[in-house]
Structure 1
Amino acid sequence: MGKVVGSVVSTQKDPSLVGRKLMIIQPINADGQTVRHEEVAADTVGAGIGEYVLYVRGAGARNSSPQGDPHADVMDAAIVGIIDRFDS
């Protein structure tokens, strides 16, 4: 889980990232406390700054791309869901 804290603007990037928003994510734990350092993730769901999101890394991020995308291996992190609420 993470919180979107900003965005990245890049005019030159891999073709597979053209048309995708790049968001800065602050990873959080189940208590909403920050953990680790911020990272950049490709947004696949239309998340905005200030929203809590589900994001995946590695193979999960690559699998979030359309089937047959020859450039999917360039993504290391992707936002795949927006969190509506936390239940404990």
Structure 2
Amino acid sequence: MKIGTVIGNIWATRKEEGLIGLKFLFIQLELPDGSPIESPVIAADRIGAGIGDKVMITSGSAARFVIENNNVPIDSAVIGIVDSIDVESR
């Protein structure tokens, strides 16, 4: 799992049949302190996250199991909206 912030929406009027009805978000991956890492990713969202929300995502084959029909071509999915992060400083 990874954390990131939703930075945008993706609209696709034409897409693979199994993706119809899914919302897609553009997510900037981050370290726990909020600094960006890697390139932004596109993730399927079924829980209603919006721009500015900090979210948890899962990726790879595990992301497919978030969708009822797990035979869909997705690589990342939002699995939670983060309320807070508490990291012990060293």
Question: What TM-score do you get using the length of structure 1 for normalisation?
Answer: 0.90
**Match for residue 79 of structure 2?**
80
Q: In angstroms, what is the RMSD of aligned CA positions?
A: 1.1
Structure 1 residues 45-84: aligned runs within 5 Å:
45-66=47-68, 69=69, 71-72=71-72, 74-84=73-83
- CA offsets, 1:41-77, max 9 Å, x none? 10021100000000010122011111xx2632x0101
Aligned residue for 1:3, secondary structure, equals: strand
Q: Structure 1: any 5+ residue segments left out of the alignment?
A: none
Q: Structure 2: any 5+ residue segments left out of the alignment?
A: none
**Match for residue 30 of structure 1?**
32
Aligned residue for 1:23, secondary structure, equals: strand
| Percent identity of paired positions between Structure 1 and Structure 2 | 35
Question: What TM-score do you get using the length of structure 2 for normalisation?
Answer: 0.88
- CA offsets, 1:1-50, max 9 Å, x none? 01000001100011121111110000001111100001111002110000
2: CA distance, partners of 1:57 / 1:48: 19
2: CA distance, partners of 1:8 / 1:45: 16
Query: Contact 1:41 / 1:76 at 8 angstroms: preserved in 2?
Result: yes
Q: Extract structure 1 runs of 4+ deviating beyond 4 A.
A: none
Aligned residue for 2:83, secondary structure, equals: coil
| Greater helix share, structure number | 1
Number of residue pairs aligned between Structure 1 and Structure 2: 85
Question: Is 2:16 the counterpart of 1:14?
Answer: yes
